[in-house]
Each structure stands twice: as structure tokens, then as C-alpha cells.
Amino acid sequence: MYAGYAELITDKPVQRFLRRLCLSDAKVETLIIVSPIIGTLEGARFSIDYVCKQITRRKIPTYVITRKPEELWHQEAVDLFLQCNLVEVRYNDSLHAKLYACKEAGSGGYALLGSANLTRKALEENIEIGVMIYGRGRGKDLLHELFYWGSVVLRTRSKLVKKIHYERRV
């Protein structure tokens, strides 16, 4: 842990991010998933289907940015996100970055910046590395910049496939 705001993760970093997201009771304001390649994660503890159910149940506005799928398994994963009303999907064929960011009410949240795509192989087999940034101390500013890059800069440079659709209750 670096001064309480950053942590180097050398063992299954994306799995650690998903576990924190899915098992936390914290109010999540926004979720950003940036991964050139996405799989369904079928058979994994936190599959894309499970994550989408969490997004719906907890009403989490989510931005997914990936490459346009060329493989059927990638398209199947994107289709799961496309079926979720609270998910915006965008394509960027120049994408190589991997960022997973969760903005929480109160704490500021956390983000994982690293090497792992959102695939089962990256979760369970590949040697991956990531840095988890927490919204405290020096991490607040860095987390803010990562959210801005993912939700504004990269989004505006990526092709919109589907907007978020949900009814607001008055």
C-alpha cells in the first residue's frame, strides 16, 4: 500500500476489482469498464451476467468502452451489456488501455489501472498486474483524473453503440 491511496496487485487484479464491486454494499454512483477485449466470464464467480444483474439491482450507471467485437465470444459479452438498460456501450478500435473504475458516494471510490482485459483467461490464468487507486489522500486527484479520462475524454473519442436507458422516478 502506498500511503493509503494506491496498492500494487500482482495476483488476479480484475478479479479483485470485481469482488470488491459485487460484494460491497456501498452506493455506487458510476462504473466505468474500459477493456479492448471482453468475454462473458461464464463459469467465473463474477460473470458479466452477474455484473449486469448487480448494475440493474443497484441502479449503477455504467460506461463500457471496448473494441468492436470480431469474435463471437466477445460479441456475446457485449450483447449482455447491451441488454442492460443502465449500460452505455461505445466502440474504439484503437483501444489498448484497461481501466476499471467505481465511483462511490462518500469515499470517492477506487479504480484499477493495469494490463488485464475483461476475459476469463485474464481473470484466472494470465500473469497480470494492476494498480488500485483509492479515493483518499493523493489518490483523490488521481481517481478524479481517471474518471474524467474514462467518462469524458475516451467516451467522446469512441463511437456510441447504445445509450443508458432508464426511467427516473419522481
The 10s digit of each residue's pLDDT in 91-144 is 999 999 999 999 999 878 999 999 999 999 999 999 999 999 999 998 999 999
pLDDT tens track for 36-51: 999 999 999 999 999 9
**Residue 16: all three cell numbers together:** 479483485
Report if residue 13 sits inside a domain: yes
Q: Which helix (H) or strand (E) holds 51?
A: helix 48-58
Kindly tell me the sign of the dihedral angle through the C-alpha atoms of 170, 155, 149, 109: positive
pTM above 0.85, yes or no: yes
The residues near 169 (Cβ < 8 Å, ≥ 6 apart) are none
Beta 87-91 vs 62-66: how paired, if at all? parallel
Question: Is 166 among the domain residues?
Answer: no
Domain containing 82 equals 6-161
State whether the Cα torsion 57-60-66-68 is positive or negative. Answer: positive
Identify whether 168 is part of a domain.
no
Nearest-angstrom CA–CA distance, 158 and 153: 9
Residue 42 forms part of a structural domain: yes
Residue 12 lies in a domain: yes
Residue 117 lies in a domain: yes
- CATH at 109: 3.30.870.10
